[in-house]
Amino acid sequence: MSLTADAAATVPNAGAKRPPAPAILIATLGMVGIVVSLMQTLVIPIIPLLPSLLSTSASNASWVITAALLAGAVATPISGRLGDMFGKRRVLFANLLSMILGSVICAMFSALLPAIIGRSLQGAAVGAIPLGISIMRDELAPERVGSAMAIMSATLGVGGAIGLPAAALIAQNADWHVLFWTAAGIGVLCAILVFVFVPESPVRTPSRFDVGGAIGLSIALLALLISITKGADWGWGSPTILTLFAVSAVVFLAWGWFELRQKAPLVDLRVSARPRVLFTNLASIAVGFALFGMSLSFPQLLMAPEGTGYGFGLSMVNAGLILAPTGLVMMLLSPVSARLSAARGPKVTLILGSTVIAVGYLSGVILMESVWEIMIAAIVVAAGVGLAYAAMPALIMGAVPITETAAANGLNSLMRSIGTSTSSAVMSVVLAHMTMSYAGHELPSREGFHTTFFIAMAAAVAAMVLAACIPMSNKAVPASAAVPGTDG
């Protein structure tokens, strides 16, 4: 552990305004979570048009998507550590400013390089979600923490679900730059709400920032995620991809060796290696993998031409509207997950959520004959994701000191991102290779969709097994605040 309870500092906040009502704080942070996660799906409706909009090739245009993913993966654990050190509200505000600046850059230009820069700044804001979870733990009464963290954690899926139809509606009825002006506007609104309603946490971890650890983790993550996201385009056996995988492995090993020798590491690997934290993070990768299977496969299935024998020929807007209830289901089940975790323990909730995800994908294989059947399968998957995602912060919070909550939640969010990135690569390869010919075009076949569902179901089963391995005890964690339901 990098710091003990004695080393933690509680910063006086005598001149601060009175903390807002818990409901206002939860609503404000929940809105922030939805908005920053919405950035992940913001450009999906215009993906086919990006090459012409940016006057570039399809391969180059894909970096507009990849840049946000890479920036989010790198920035999330760093934001968490900075929040623990310098103030979570301050770093949360900086994340929102990054999102606003990125949105304005994308809105003002129609070239590839500004778009990549802007999307990188947008993606970096996703670190606001683990920061929000940690603020809730610091500011709310113990009886409110469980449900509040569950809601905040679920926003990672909710934003993507509601963002797709909203972005498609704007893209079909206005200039594509309006997407980014809209993002900037709601970013400004969120920043104002944070400034007014979110107090600065008094819990700090005074130490020097681990610059070497941040650089090493960034290089390792970039090499890993670029190889995963670009493997299908560049060839999985190409020298570039193999080199990137090798660089990632070597740098990760060197980074781990370096971190274990730091007094105040970016990521406390000794805490992260605790079985409860380790297995929760591994399960997070599997759940993130399963979640993105729905995000990638279900819209394509709904938009496929009816002549394929399985598709429904829906527009992007209509497909998004069909899947929009999944976000509502995730949000509604978050407090249910918190109550279940309080009664039975978050481990049970995570296992149950993973089981429901597996059932949802199995139903997707069986129910493919009508739009409402696809909607039911998607809602079942979303229900499982809502239960599972909401249980993860409680597991993490119960195993780390309160001085490291933001960094620990940042690492957990990173694990989910690695899962979704890997899922995107795997599912894209499957759908690209299992095809059928239709009207002179190669489209994913019914068997291709079935295969993606089975792969996602296998990931959910893996999450069940990993969650079952999480050890639970009633031993108190040093310097931590009690969170209802974190032991059981």
At 1, the pLDDT band (50, 70, 90 cuts) reads very low
**Whole-angstrom Cα distance, residue 341 to residue 353?**
11
Query: What is the model's pLDDT at position 6?
Result: 39
The mean pLDDT of 44-58, rounded to a whole number, is 86
Greatest mean pLDDT among 16-20, 412-416, 474-478:
412-416
Q: How far apart are CA 320 and CA 89, in angstroms?
A: 33
pLDDT digits (tens, 9 = 90+) for 316-359: 888 888 888 888 888 888 888 888 988 898 999 999 999 999 99
Strand partners, 435: 444
More confident residue, 123 or 11: 123
| Pairwise CA distance, residues 113 & 56, whole Å | 10
- Give the H/E segment covering residue 423: helix 405-433
Phi, psi of 304 (to 5 degrees): -65, 145
The position carrying tokens 């993906």 is 47
Q: What is the pLDDT of residue 480?
A: 37
Q: How far is CA 99 from CA 68, 108, 184, 288, 376, in A?
A: 11, 14, 7, 23, 34
* Cα separation, 253 vs 21, whole angstroms: 46
Q: pLDDT class for 35, splitting at 50, 70, 90?
A: very high
CA atoms within 13 A on the CB side of 186: 19
| CA-wise closest residue to 99 among 11, 185, 199 | 185
Give tens-digit pLDDT for 437-477: 888 888 889 999 999 999 999 999 999 999 999 997 655 44
* Segment 270-282, tens digit of pLDDT: 888 889 899 999 9
Could you read off the pLDDT of 385-410 as tens digits, one per residue?
889 988 888 888 778 877 777 778 88
Q: Which of 382, 327, 413 is nearest to 132 (CA)?
A: 413
Integer Cα distance of 458 and 451 in angstroms:
10
Q: Decide if pLDDT at 486 tops 70.
A: no
Range in 203-207, 214-218, 455-459, 464-468 with the lowest mean pLDDT: 203-207
Confidence of residue 258 (pLDDT cuts 50, 70, 90): very high
Express each pLDDT in 59-93 by its tens digit.
788 889 888 888 988 888 899 889 888 889 999 99
Using CB atoms within 10 A of its CB, is residue 304 exposed (0-12), middle (13-18) or buried (19+)?
A: buried
Selection from 101, 94, 145 nearest residue 119 by Cα: 101
Is the per-residue pLDDT at 294 higher than 90? no
Average pLDDT over all residues of the chain: 85
Does 482 score more than 60 pLDDT? no
Q: How much is the pLDDT for 189?
A: 97
Residue 183: predicted pLDDT = 95
Mean per-residue pLDDT, 284-293 = 88
On the question of pLDDT at 41 being above 90, the answer is no
Residue 19, pLDDT score:
64
